[in-house]
Amino acid sequence: MRLFASLLLMVVTISAQAQKVSGKLLFQPGQVLNVSAKSTMSNLVNAMGQEIELKSESTIDQFYRVTNTTDESHTLSHEVKRIRMNSEGMGNSMSFDSDSEKDMKGQFGGPVKELMAKKMNLVIDASGTTMMAMSDGSNTKKSDGGGEMLAQFIGGLSEMIEAPKQGEASFFKVLPSNEVGKGDGWTQTIDRNGSKIEEAYSVAEINENAIILNFLSNTSSSRVQENMGMEVTINVKNKTEGKITVDRKTGIVKEKTLNTTATGTVSTGMGEFPINATTTTIITVN
């Protein structure tokens, strides 16, 4: 009996170690995938020798609808349903909800309407690489004060709304097209809007229902923008670590939990100020 139990345990262990998964995605025609992304940021600002903490939180609810699916490609449409933001610091607080008629009449109303009016149609290959992407609707005006502040609040979440370039990984591209097993890793480098993004993935666990990945990325960027009529130069480096959970049966991401540390400088006509911020982002797909 003991020998049988030992042999059974050995077979199960070998089977688990030999598990391999591929990045092939399985969608259903008409399927709707609701994606909620919540980002919480803490930013330490040094003002006249005094360290001040600024906190902000933003949530974007959006959905993808599967309009066509084959073994080689998938066609999806994307829309934003709701945007919420709040912040506090230096004795002031602010909140916004696109579901509120009053808030939509305020300074964020215009740029949020433009953002939510953008509709994206996306064609991806079997593993999620972008084959074609089209976005309808106008971009948020950078010259508008509300637009500048909105961009600052939603930060990295804006990448989830913008159409990816041809050949670039879509939101659903997590696993590689080739088979991988526990302990395997892979990397990719992305150039996006002047930012170089280096990403590294590794398989931490494979079980009956899910694939758990470890994630690490490093981003460096330098950009010049106008803020309240003043030219601002921002140089920043981001380091992000986290875990990604993928549905074992469909290959579709179910959750991402990411922690980002940002360091750098903001240069204005008034001098140079350090950037020291931490952000936690949780993305869920239902």
The residue ranking higher by pLDDT, 90 or 32, is 32
Q: Is the pLDDT of residue 11 over 60?
A: no
**CATH number where 104 lies:** 2.30.230
Q: Is the pLDDT of residue 14 over 50?
A: no
- Residue 114's φ and ψ, nearest 5 degrees, are -65, -45
For residue 15, tell me if it sits in a domain.
no
Tally of domains in the chain = 1
Contacts of 62 (CB under 8 A, 6+ apart): 34, 35, 36, 37, 78, 79, 80, 81, 160, 161
Average pLDDT in the 49-63 region? Answer: 88
Q: Where in the sequence is the domain holding 32, given as residue range(s)? A: 20-285
Residues 276, 259: Cα–Cα separation, whole Å: 14
For residue 203, tell me if it sits in a domain.
yes
Highest mean pLDDT range out of 13-17, 139-143, 206-210, 226-230? 206-210
DSSP string computed for 186-199: EEEEEEETTEEEEE
Mean pLDDT for the chain overall: 85
Q: The pTM is what? A: 0.84
The pLDDT assigned to 156 comes to: 65
For residue 9, tell me if it sits in a domain.
no
Q: Is the pLDDT of residue 84 over 60?
A: yes
The pLDDT assigned to 142 comes to: 47
For residue 3, tell me if it sits in a domain.
no
Q: Is the pLDDT of residue 109 over 80?
A: yes
pLDDT tens digits, 86-105: 999 878 899 999 999 999 99
For residue 8, tell me if it sits in a domain.
no
The pLDDT assigned to 190 comes to: 78
Residues 108, 14: Cα–Cα separation, whole Å: 57
- Residue 278's φ and ψ, nearest 5 degrees, are -125, 140
pLDDT tens digits, 186-226: 998 877 666 778 999 999 999 999 999 999 999 888 878 77
The pLDDT assigned to 48 comes to: 62
Q: Is the pLDDT of residue 123 over 90?
A: yes
Q: How confident is the model at residue 18 (pLDDT cuts 50, 70, 90)?
A: low
For residue 153, tell me if it sits in a domain.
yes
pLDDT tens digits, 143-177: 454 555 566 666 667 777 888 889 999 999 999 98
Q: How confident is the model at residue 234 (pLDDT cuts 50, 70, 90)?
A: confident
Residues 171, 37: Cα–Cα separation, whole Å: 12
For residue 4, tell me if it sits in a domain.
no
Residues 259, 17: Cα–Cα separation, whole Å: 29
Highest mean pLDDT range out of 19-33, 142-156, 264-278? 19-33
Q: Is the pLDDT of residue 117 over 50?
A: yes
For residue 252, tell me if it sits in a domain.
yes
